[in-house]
């Protein structure tokens, strides 16, 4: 068996362990489900009603565009949180193997010392891409069913690209952090904290523009904020364009600013290309950190 085959088989084994744990998969989707539930029960109506009142003052009564804008904002938050929580829960296989002595078996097996670490990383990315891809498909179906579909073919492909980049960025960061953990209790605690705080910091519940200035600066150091900004750009540009044509460009620009469609980077409106560059830089940085950490563990005979 070649090294490549061993790597793929071990990666597939890790993915299967994650997917078969239905409770773990559910909790990886809990934060996005909370975003969706809050929107459907409370936030959605409040947001849509507020925008409609402002639009009616300008003589704009097209409820479909406003509802599409509001739904797209919510789905952007769902996708951004999913791209963080799913890879995080997939990292749990690393902790399970450490506590069950599987890592010791890897050390005694005739495989390269780097292979298990690489397999963990590949499996986290693979699990994230598969599940986040399914969630993205559900988001598209939601927009189509509710009549809020205002995405072009380019927007759809852009959403897929942002999903892939977001999963890769969060996976490199999370694999690096989790690789230093040994306790399932510590991992569970971190999982709960990240799952709870992430939605707030990336503006999934409340637009970032509503935060105090100090908190807005903190969000700029959270990679998920750039993922959320990119998803908003992909999901919401069509609705914003329709609102600008039917109401006014000033009104559409005001909505874009209020709902943080373009992230405010220390007073500068961050372009989509810049946000994507930051995510790619995050992936490269922590990918290098994962590599260095794996090399050091190999020298110490630790996986």
The DSSP string of 208-245 is GGGS-HHHHHHHTT-HHHHHHHHHHHHHHHHHHHHHHH
Place of tokens 């399914």: 134
Each residue's pLDDT tens digit, 234-260? 999 988 888 888 777 888 888 888 887
C-alpha 274/C-alpha 290 separation (Å) is 24
Each residue's pLDDT tens digit, 206-242? 888 888 888 888 999 999 999 999 999 999 998 888 8
Q: Is the pTM of this model over 0.85?
A: yes
Q: Cα angle at 237 between 235 and 241, to 5 degrees?
A: 140
Does residue 35 contact residue 205 with C-beta atoms inside 8 Å? yes
Q: Which two tokens stand for residue 144?
A: 């189509």
87 by Cβ neighbours in 10 Å (0-12 / 13-18 / 19+) ranks as: buried
C-alpha 276/C-alpha 292 separation (Å) is 24
DSSP label at 100?
A: T
pLDDT in single tens digits along all 303 residues of the chain: 588 888 899 999 999 999 988 888 888 888 888 888 888 777 777 788 788 887 777 777 677 888 888 899 999 999 999 999 999 999 999 999 888 887 777 766 777 778 888 999 999 999 999 999 999 999 999 999 988 899 999 999 999 999 999 999 999 999 999 988 888 888 988 888 888 888 888 988 888 888 888 888 899 999 999 999 999 999 999 888 888 887 778 888 888 888 878 888 887 888 899 999 999 999 999 999 988 888 887 777 644
């Amino acid at each position: 068996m070649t090294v490549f085959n061993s790597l793929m088989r071990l990666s597939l084994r890790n993915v299967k362990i994650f997917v078969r744990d239905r409770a773990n998969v559910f909790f990886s989707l809990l934060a996005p489900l909370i975003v969706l539930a809050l929107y459907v029960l409370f936030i959605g109506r409040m947001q849509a009603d507020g925008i409609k009142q402002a639009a009616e003052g300008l003589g704009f009564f097209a409820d479909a565009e406003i509802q599409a804008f509001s739904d797209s904002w919510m789905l952007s938050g769902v996708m951004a949180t999913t791209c963080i929580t799913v890879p995080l829960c997939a990292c749990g296989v690393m902790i399970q193997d450490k506590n069950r002595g599987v890592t010791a078996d890897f050390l005694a097996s005739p495989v390269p010392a780097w292979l298990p670490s690489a397999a963990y990383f590949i499996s986290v990315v693979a699990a994230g891409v598969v599940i986040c891809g399914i969630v993205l498909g559900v988001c598209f179906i939601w927009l189509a069913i509710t009549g809020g579909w205002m995405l072009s073919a380019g927007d759809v492909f852009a959403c897929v690209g942002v999903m892939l980049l977001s999963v890769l960025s969060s996976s490199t960061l999370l694999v690096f952090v989790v690789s230093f953990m040994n306790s399932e209790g510590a991992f569970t605690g971190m999982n709960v904290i990240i799952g709870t705080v992430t939605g707030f910091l990336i503006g999934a519940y409340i637009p970032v523009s509503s935060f105090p200035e100090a908190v807005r600066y903190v969000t700029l150091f959270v990679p998920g904020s750039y993922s959320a900004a990119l998803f908003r750009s992909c999901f919401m540009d069509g609705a914003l364009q329709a609102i600008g044509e039917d109401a006014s460009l000033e009104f559409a620009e005001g909505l874009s600013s209020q709902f943080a469609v373009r992230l405010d980077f220390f007073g500068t409106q961050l372009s989509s290309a810049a946000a994507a560059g930051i995510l790619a830089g995050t992936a490269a940085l922590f990918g290098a950190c994962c590599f260095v950490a794996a090399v050091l563990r190999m020298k110490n005979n630790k996986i």
